[in-house]
């Protein structure tokens, strides 16, 4: 089922932070009313301590059971938005190189990497699906450490999920083979 992203130009209200568990790590979702303003990975010990407690799960990623609409605060430069829009087109279980993405939008690989590094919606806008020609590349501006472990876990998780879905489709299951993202701009 698709996740429909609705871009909003501004939002008001007090910012609230919610921790959500994913299969690879905990994330912090920052919201102002019903608009997500950014998403961060949460590597704190506090996140680990709540692992088996009352923490919510991110039940719509990577495969929502029904179509959902998410409002995201529009951010970034024209170039960053162009890169982020292309990231939304990379299918679950697939990767694309920085240079191939750059060629698609008439840019340079380094500029694509910089836009990926500044992605405010980690996980939803799948910058982890962009890799270097000769390896993993970076993730969130890092080339080593926790962020790179998250990128690797995400790619492995999505590849395994996609492979299971493909096998189910071959054997007659009716499950959808890929998550679809649609992007809309609110008025």
165 within domain boundaries: yes
- Nearest residue to 105 (alpha-carbon basis) of 77, 86, 119: 86
Q: What tokens appear for 4 in the block?
A: 């429909």
Residues labelled catalytic? 127
DSSP state of 91: P
For the entire predicted model, the pTM comes to 0.79
Strand partners, 71: 6, 35
How many structural domains comprise the chain?
1
Domain span holding position 72: 2-9+64-185
Cα 86 to Cα 105: distance, rounded to the nearest angstrom: 8
Query: 138-182 pLDDT, tens per residue?
Result: 999 999 999 999 999 999 998 888 676 555 555 454 443 333 344
72 falls within a domain: yes
The CATH number for 150's domain is 1.10.10.10
Q: pLDDT per residue over 58-116, tens digit each?
A: 554 555 567 788 899 999 999 999 999 999 999 888 999 999 999 999 999 999 999 99
Flag whether 97 is in a domain: yes
Nearest residue to 81 via CA among 118, 49, 109: 118
């Amino acid at each position: 089922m698709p996740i429909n992203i609705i871009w909003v130009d501004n939002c008001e209200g007090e910012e609230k932070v919610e921790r959500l568990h994913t299969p690879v790590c905990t994330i912090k979702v920052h919201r102002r009313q019903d608009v997500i303003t950014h998403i961060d990975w949460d590597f704190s010990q506090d996140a680990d301590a709540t692992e088996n407690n009352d923490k919510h799960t991110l039940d719509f990623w990577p495969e929502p059971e029904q179509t959902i609409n998410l409002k995201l605060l529009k951010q970034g430069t024209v170039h960053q938005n162009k890169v982020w829009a292309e990231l939304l087109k990379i299918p679950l279980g697939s990767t694309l190189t920085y240079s191939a993405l750059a060629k698609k939008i008439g840019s340079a690989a380094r500029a694509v990497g910089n836009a990926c590094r500044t992605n405010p919606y980690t996980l939803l806008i799948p910058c982890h699906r962009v890799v270097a020609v000769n390896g993993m590349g970076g993730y969130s501006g890092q080339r080593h450490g926790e962020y790179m472990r998250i990128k690797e876990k995400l790619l492995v998780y999505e590849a395994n999920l996609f492979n299971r879905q493909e096998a189910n489709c071959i054997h007659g299951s009716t499950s959808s083979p890929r998550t679809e993202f649609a992007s809309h701009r609110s008025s």
